[in-house]
Chain A
Amino acid sequence: MEQTKTVWRWVRRVLVVAFCAAHLTFMVTNALPADMRREIIDAAANKDEKKADSGQTQAWETVQSYIDISRGYERLTSTPQSWGMFAPNVGDESDSPCLVIFYVNGVQEILYSPCQPRLINIEPTFNFLLKFGELEQRKKADPHVMDVTWPLHLGDARIRKIESYVTKMSDQYGANGPRTAYVRWRLIDHLRRNPARQGQVSMVRLFCASYQHAEVNGNPGYGRAYLERVRLLAEYRPALDPMWPKNLPAEPKP
């Protein structure tokens, strides 16, 4: 009995030591910056090239297998180790999605992001679309600026995150799905809050407004973020969306 206990104690110790060593090794491997990992793989590949004549070309495969295993462990334990918060640069620009709703009577309505601070010096008749297509047009005296001076701003950090994804995502992997979902969500919310506008929507366009933070001699400036440029991200028509709720009329009946 005592012998079994001793054996079990040793087995447990070995398991714990193996787990701790593997976990720490994988943690460090996965936390390495991508560039550093690329250098390691390149170094292994170079080593293989040098040894190609002698038939020893295993370094690259070994490194590759190890990285695959460490990635697999990360996926299994759901412990991703990417810690590049605000790195390598913070950036001097903010991207914010804007919806422009086109109504059948010709009226246009802009829905700014719920995470975006209020805009100042915007006249009610300001045509947001005039900015569309213009690049690098900011002037220092441009009145269309975002006021970044406010006593307290409490927004939804998760929605900000998804908006960041919606505006920055590449189109490589069928990017329009999340954008459609975002536009649909905003439009449904807007129409439910404004029943009079139900059945009046003609089309919706999703724009990305980029705001450059004010700068003074290349350094961050004070209190203003300038509307830098506007990009069209997606067009949306509720009638063509199979997911649109049947009980919420958006477009006029034919």
Chain B
Amino acid sequence: MSGLWRMFRDFWAKPVAPEPMAAFRIAIALILIFDLCCTLLPNLESYFGPLGVFEPGDARAWQENAALNKDAALPGIPQSIEQIPKTRWSFIGPDTPMSTIYVMAGALLICALCLLTGTLTRVATVGAWLILTSLHQRNPNLTNAGDVLLRISLFYLMLMPAGAAWSVDNIFRRKLGWKIRDTVAPWSMRLAQFQIAAVYFFSGVEKNAPLGGWLQARMQGSENPPYIGDWNNGLAIPWALRDALITRVDWFVWIPVEILYPFTLITLMWELTFPLLLLFAITRRWALAIGYAVHMGIFLTMEVNHFSFTTMAFYALFVPAAIWMDIAGRRTGEMSGEIEKPGPFADPAAIAAAKAQKQLGRTRFYRVFYDSLCPVCRRSVLWLRRLDWLGVLKFEDLHDREAAEAALPGVSYADQLKRLYVLRPDGQYFGGFAAVRAMAAVMPLLWPVLPLMWLPGAGWVGHKIYDVIATNRFRYAKCDDEMCSLHLKLVAGKQINDEVIAQVIALADKRKKAAIAKA
């Protein structure tokens, strides 16, 4: 019981790094700026002006009664407009002139820019929430689920210390000599995490609603049970992709319906189990990876405005702080907590190196161990250098055996010859496909495909493909010297035994001596 209580208390109260909240803030700010600049500002007159699609009487009805309230038809709920309480508030009323709307929209853009840079973050968030809500309530008929979620995300940002990292606020704090917070209270982040879980779960419940009636009728032996619903018979996605007013592209029209059935059912199952999948680290990755695939699919095939991106912005709150810190380098979060309390896989040498880097104030590197005698590996490293825009990858030769073995305890020299290894700054190391996946987290060009690497089964498939390529790399290699071709022949054997290792070591030593002699 005490263990459960401790878990509960830690979940809600144990301070966490502010980077995930800062990432959420930046993502929401970008969406807000994009929405303002691309849809709202160019169409302000059409959307909210008296000669546009705006109708003051209708807006007044929205604000003054529950005309479109889903509870209006419930028993016991007032049925006439007079009995229904006011439903929505707004600083922009139905009769507010257009000039005021323009001023408010401009102020919203300024707030969004402040949010992006983390300037007066809390004030900017409150301002953005007040103005965006007011704007939406001016003409609620224009808003969709994405807009509602954007508004809700601003509400959570008001509660979050989102300016505690990656912010202009921090620069000022530093200049004024004020304390910079390494960790912050997590409760506001937890509420936002619950929110996104609720979005998916209740969406799944709504989609699954016809199943209850269908099951009941079947159990009662009815020959004509009610319709089981588009989602349970697998037709929802095929129908949605054929909705002429929503679908964006036509390719899916030609995919046989039977192929799309499983996607419908997987989506429904994923939504219903989303809160459960979030409980464990491995299933959490799957939940987010499937979510990414679903939302990118929605964005590419359907016109639902910024809904997909607003939803995915919440995913930033689930990405481990260590990843965000790696992306930020030394500019923020020194990982002091992780250095002092290393994880179970942490390597003492890596901890010492991280401490040394911290003392030196240097960027925290991802140490990549590669086979410098292998031309394919050298070419791969060349590509990795090009993709390393953040400059966090540090390439080391695995033939420098002392350093490699100290950094990767438990990984034999033979294993290192077989595949690429990466040592993350938090002390964890990865080999093969897992190494590529770990590096992708700090290579911006690979971010669009990174979530797909975490899909269920992607690791298994990825490892198989990686191993096939790694084992056969000598086939693609063009060696320009005898040493290289000899090395490839040695490591291309099915088993790398002690004899082969001895020969490879001898080769490496020979090359080292040659290099010294040349120098």
Contact = CB atoms under 8 A, between A and B. Distances in A.
Contact of B244 (A172, A182, A211, A222): A211
Given A157-B303, A178-B58, A72 B85 contact: yes
A72 B210 CA distance: 29
Nearest to B140: A165
B151 interface: yes
A150 B250 contact: yes
B145 A34 contact: no
Contact of B250 (A60, A86, A151): A151
Nearest to A174: B57
Contacts of B235: 90, 219-220
B198 A83 contact: yes
A180 B55 CA distance: 8
A92 B245 contact: no
Contacts of B89: 75-76, 78
Contacts of A117: 244-245
B239 A184 contact: no
B465 to A, nearest CB: 31
User: Which of B53, B136, B203, B253 has the most C-beta atoms of chain A within 10 angstroms of its own C-beta?
Assistant: B53
Interface in A70-118: 71-72, 75-92, 94, 96, 113, 115-117
Give chain A's interface residue range (CB within 8 Å of chain B). Answer: 35 or more
A161 interface: yes
B371 to A, nearest CB: 45
Contacts of B257: 216, 219-220
B505 interface: no
Contacts, number: 228
A28 B198 contact: yes
B238 A219 contact: yes
B179 interface: no
Contacts of B328: none
A240 interface: no
Contact of B57 (A90, A177, A216): A177
A148 B74 contact: no
Interface stretch (B42-50, B355-363, B408-416): B42-50
Give chain B's interface residue range (CB within 8 Å of chain A). Answer: 35 or more
Contact of A245 (B51, B227, B238): B51
A78 B90 CA distance: 10
A190 interface: no
A71 B243 contact: no
Contacts of A91: 230, 239, 243
A51 interface: no
Contacts of A16: 185, 187
Contact of A160 (B74, B229, B246): B246
B230 A152 contact: no
A155 B53 contact: no
B248 A154 contact: yes
A84 B191 contact: no
A153 to B, nearest CB: 5
A165 B230 contact: no
Given A75-B86, A116-B244, A157-B305, A88 B229 contact: yes
B274 to A, nearest CB: 12
A97 B418 CA distance: 63
B142 A158 contact: yes
A233 interface: no
B247 A148 contact: yes
B242 interface: yes
B88 interface: yes
A31 B230 contact: no
Contacts of B250: 148-151, 223
B10 interface: no
B242 A33 contact: no
Nearest to B306: A157
B518 interface: no
Interface in B97-146: 129, 133, 136-137, 141-145
B55 A213 contact: no
A7 interface: no
Contacts of A67: 71
Contact of A27 (B190, B195, B305): B195
A129 interface: no
B240 interface: yes
B55 A178 contact: yes
B247 A89 contact: no
Nearest to B141: A165
A32 interface: yes
Contact of B51 (A34, A158, A243): A243
A148 B133 contact: no
Contacts of A24: 191, 194
Contacts of B51: 184-185, 188, 243, 245
A87 B203 contact: yes
A162 interface: yes
A116 B246 CA distance: 9
Contacts of A35: 209
Interface in B130-189: 133, 136-137, 141-145, 148, 151-152, 155, 185, 187
A180 B207 CA distance: 34
29 contacts: A20-B187, A24-B194, A34-B71, A38-B75, A81-B198, A83-B198, A83-B200, A84-B207, A86-B240, A87-B206, A88-B209, A89-B236, A91-B230, A92-B239, A96-B244, A116-B245, A146-B244, A148-B247, A152-B249, A153-B303, A155-B303, A157-B303, A160-B245, A161-B141, A174-B58, A178-B55, A220-B242, A225-B242, A243-B51
What are the 3 tightest A-B residue pairs by CB atom distance, in nearest-first order? A87-B206, A84-B206, A157-B305
Given A31-B202, A83-B206, 5 more contacts: A35-B209, A146-B244, A182-B53, A211-B244, A219-B238
